[in-house]
């Protein structure tokens, strides 16, 4: 199983740095995990979107799902030919939002391109030997961490999450834990919605994850600084995700 980093930026894309998106590959299967701004173009450098087995959206913030509109254009009008509708696993309401982009009150016109499946906590999807499981985490909208298992290996991906015990459950014993570190420091007076690098490190330690890779660092952090802080907290080096790299799980 591998995960190719398409984008890590938060909250808006930068040159050569799209927002959240990853290409998960396991055996013959490929899944686009989060479709943040700019990630369709990055995905096309690595895979044919029409050949995806599924799309998995952690939550409905635009920096994690807006490029599904771009994917709809590519698949419907852009000359790509999928064998059938591509399954999209996402929190409820994504089809309606996408339809809104086209000024349509209905969602039926999307169904030749995407088939939407509403995620719930503990949702399990099997694509051949690849098993995907959702874990509800704490964010300011319904949000799910992803646990992917294939051939005895486990990838965990936080999506966006505040510190919460469910995050460590999602990453329990993972071989690779791809975790957000959006916040430089907890914002005063606000409900928590993201992690600091130290909180990402604490979640990885609590989970007993073998390897932590930080992603989705916010505008007041650099990926390098976030990784250094998490590494200091754990007492060993921590990497950060880099656009275009493929991580072996
Ligand atoms: Zn979010």
Q: What's the pLDDT tens digit per position in 118-171?
A: 999 999 999 999 999 999 999 999 999 999 999 999 999 999 999 999 999 999
pLDDT value at residue 189: 86
Q: How far is CA 108 from CA 91, 98, 99, 105, in A?
A: 18, 11, 9, 10
* 83 Cα–ligand 1 center, Å: 32
Q: How far is CA 2 from CA 30, 172, 178, in A?
A: 10, 18, 12
Query: Is beta strand 29-35 parallel, antiparallel or unpaired with respect to 21-26?
Result: antiparallel
- pLDDT tens for residues 175-195? 999 999 999 999 888 899 999
7 sits in which H/E element: strand 2-7
* 81 Cα–ligand 1 center, Å: 31
* 233 Cα–ligand 1 center, Å: 24
Within 10 Å of residue 19's Cβ, how many Cβ atoms? 27
Band the pLDDT of 40: cuts 50, 70, 90.
very high
* 215 Cα–ligand 1 center, Å: 13
* Domain of 223, in residue numbers: 2-248
Domain total in the chain: 1
* 139 Cα–ligand 1 center, Å: 7
- Give the whole-number percent of the chain exceeding pLDDT 90: 97
* 151 Cα–ligand 1 center, Å: 30
Q: Which CATH number belongs to the domain containing residue 232 in this structure?
A: 3.60.15.10
Query: Is beta strand 54-56 parallel, antiparallel or unpaired with respect to 86-90?
Result: parallel
Average pLDDT (57-79) is 97
- pLDDT tens for residues 202-221? 999 999 999 999 999 999 99
């Amino acid at each position: 199983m591998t995960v190719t980093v398409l984008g890590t930026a938060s909250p808006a894309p930068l040159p050569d740095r799209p927002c959240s998106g990853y290409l998960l590959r396991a055996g013959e299967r490929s899944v686009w995990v989060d479709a943040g701004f700019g990630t369709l173009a990055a995905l096309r450098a690595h895979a044919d979107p029409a050949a995806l087995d599924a799309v998995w959206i952690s939550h409905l913030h635009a920096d994690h799902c807006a490029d599904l509109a771009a994917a709809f254009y590519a698949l419907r009008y852009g000359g790509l030919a999928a064998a059938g509708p591509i399954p999209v696993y996402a929190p409820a309401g994504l089809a309606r939002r996408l339809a809104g982009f086209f000024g349509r009150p209905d969602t039926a016109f999307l169904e030749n391109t995407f088939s939407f499946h509403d995620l719930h906590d503990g949702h399990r999807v099997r694509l051949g030997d690849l098993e995907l499981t959702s874990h509800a985490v704490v964010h300011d909208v319904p949000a799910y961490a992803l646990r992917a298992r294939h051939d005895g290996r486990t990838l965990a991906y936080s999506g966006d999450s505040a510190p919460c015990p469910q995050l460590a459950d999602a990453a329990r014993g993972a071989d690779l834990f791809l975790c957000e570190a959006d916040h430089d420091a907890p914002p005063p007076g606000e409900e928590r919605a993201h992690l600091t690098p130290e909180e990402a490190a604490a979640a990885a330690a609590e989970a007993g994850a073998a390897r932590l890779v930080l992603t989705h660092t916010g505008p007041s952090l650099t990926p390098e600084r976030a990784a250094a802080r998490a590494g200091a907290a754990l007492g060993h080096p921590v990497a950060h995700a880099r656009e275009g790299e493929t991580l072996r799980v």
